[in-house]
Amino acid sequence: MRTVALIAVFVVLAGVFCGGGKPGSQTNKPAAAAVKWPAEATGTLTEDEMVQFFKILPTFSAALKAGNWAPKPPNEGDGPVVSLVNFVEGMNLPGVDDSLKKVGSSWGVLRPTLYKLFAASAALSIDAASPEMIAQMRKDTSAAAQKGVKDYDAFKSACSQIPDANKQVVAKHQQEMQALQTLGH
């Protein structure tokens, strides 16, 4: 049962961060070996940034809701980094910056924090994948499983670029981060 749950978590993460595409669609594009995050994603995430982020989160979420924001599904073939960039940049809706300025922030201040926060969260998720689950995936020779392995390898490579200190800060705030599930709602 635990393996099934972990596989389900990986499938969800792969769909969000690795460009899940349409069900049943296949791509023959190889996974990028040396994927680089935007510089903002690999900068140091400080405790002060996290405190500020959680202070403005209700205002940010309300601005996303007012702008009818909804995460767009990744394009087929998009890797984890492209998917994250599109996810973050898709939040820059008309009215967001004005709303943030009312609470002493701005999109220019929030944007790098979002990159660091989501990249560190992704890295924590990939770090949590059990070696047994990954070994089981590698044994499956189906085309879908092999694509999943390539996506996993690309995702793991990208996540290795995230500073451990950022992952520690995010892990410390796991409880508060549950609020991210309601962004824009």
* Rounded Cα gap, residues 167 and 183, in angstroms: 21
- The pLDDT of residue 14: 41
**Residues 115 and 166 sit within 8 Å (Cβ to Cβ):** no
pLDDT of residue 34: 59
What percent of the chain lies above the pLDDT cut of 90? Answer: 54
| pLDDT confidence of residue 16 | 40
pTM: 0.78
Mean pLDDT of 6-34: 39
Q: What is the mean pLDDT of residues 52-77?
A: 92
Dump the DSSP string for 40-66. Answer: HHHSPPPHHHHHHHHHHHHHHHHHHHH
**pLDDT at position 120 over 90:** yes
For residue 80, pLDDT beyond 70 = yes
**Averaged pLDDT for residues 41-46:** 95
Task: Report the 10 Å Cβ neighbour count for 114.
Answer: 21
Per-residue pLDDT at 142: 92
* Average pLDDT of every residue of the chain: 82
Residues 41, 164: contact at Cβ < 8 Å?
Answer: no
Q: Residues 121, 157, 74, 93: what is their CA dihedral angle, to the nearest 10 degrees? A: 50
- Mean pLDDT lowest for which of 11-25, 27-41, 99-113, 126-140? 11-25
Q: Looking at the predicted structure, is the pLDDT value of residue 161 above 80? A: yes
